């Protein structure tokens, strides 16, 4: 039974992603708030370090039956199997992460350094690093990436604060920017159609395919 519980969340998500209709009928069932760090080493972009915070409803479904010692807390060891299930399930969907140099797609290696964290606010955050298959020179023009689910089953959106960072060894003069999708894009229309006010005064939307671009000034 415990093994079933640990696989429940992404097993259901994977099924629904495959079966979900595309277009205006689609709507999200899981919300993810992202924080992204662009990693640098020896003057090159080497990958992305990601932190995805899931919504409370998803979290409660995912952690059911995982409190092995019954203390009401979920440490990294208790969440280890679920983290592996998440990473394995995301592989089929390329981790919903797409990078380009200009218009040329870039490939990632399998993720490393992944784990789940459960906070006292009752939510899960998945941390993982996606190394690029080939590093990109920091001064190369046009590096960009986006994180999205084209089926709209999962709504990805950036955190309100510190959404995009560059690692501490990034070259001086490099900075990220988040570019909004066109006003007439399907993502923008769906976000407006399904967005609305929450009972606590906040807002909810399906997110949108916003692209992060890194530009470096010439020295």
**149-176 average pLDDT score:** 92
Phi-psi region of 88 (alpha: psi -120 to 50; beta: other; left: phi over 0): alpha
Distance between CA atoms of 9 and 69, rounded to whole angstroms? 21
Buried b (16+ CB within 10 A) or exposed e, 182-203: eeeebbeebbeebeeeeeeeee
Pairing status of strand 30-41 against strand 164-166: parallel
**65-86 average pLDDT score:** 82
pLDDT digits (tens, 9 = 90+) for 172-202: 989 999 998 765 544 544 444 444 433 334 3
pLDDT digits (tens, 9 = 90+) for 81-102: 999 999 999 999 999 999 999 9
Domain count, the chain: 1
Answer whether residue 70 shows pLDDT above 80: no
Local confidence band at 76 (pLDDT 50, 70, 90 cut-offs): confident
Give the structural domain span for 47. 2-18+25-216
Distance between CA atoms of 215 and 86, rounded to whole angstroms? 32
Give the residue from 86, 14, 5 showing the smallest Cα distance to 50: 86
């Amino acid at each position: 039974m415990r093994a079933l519980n640990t696989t429940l969340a992404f097993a259901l998500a994977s099924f629904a992603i495959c079966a979900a209709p595309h277009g205006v009928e689609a709507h999200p069932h899981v919300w993810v708030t992202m924080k992204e760090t662009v990693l640098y080493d020896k003057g090159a972009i080497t990958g992305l370090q990601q932190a995805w915070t899931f919504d409370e409803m998803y979290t409660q479904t995912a952690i059911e039956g995982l409190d092995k010692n019954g203390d009401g807390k979920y440490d990294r060891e208790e969440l280890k199997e679920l983290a592996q299930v998440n990473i394995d399930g995301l592989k089929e969907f390329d981790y919903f992460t797409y990078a380009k140099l200009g218009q040329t797609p870039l490939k990632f290696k399998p993720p490393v350094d992944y784990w789940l964290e459960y906070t006292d606010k009752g939510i899960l955050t998945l941390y993982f690093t996606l190394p690029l298959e080939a590093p990109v020179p920091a001064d190369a023009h046009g590096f960009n990436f986006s994180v999205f689910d084209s089926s709209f089953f999962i709504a990805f959106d950036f955190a309100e604060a510190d959404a995009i960072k560059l690692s501490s060894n990034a070259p001086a003069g490099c900075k990220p920017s988040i570019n909004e999708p066109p006003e007439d894009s399907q993502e923008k229309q769906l976000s407006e159609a399904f967005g609305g006010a929450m009972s606590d005064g906040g807002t909810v939307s399906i997110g949108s395919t916003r692209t992060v671009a890194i530009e470096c000034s010439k020295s």
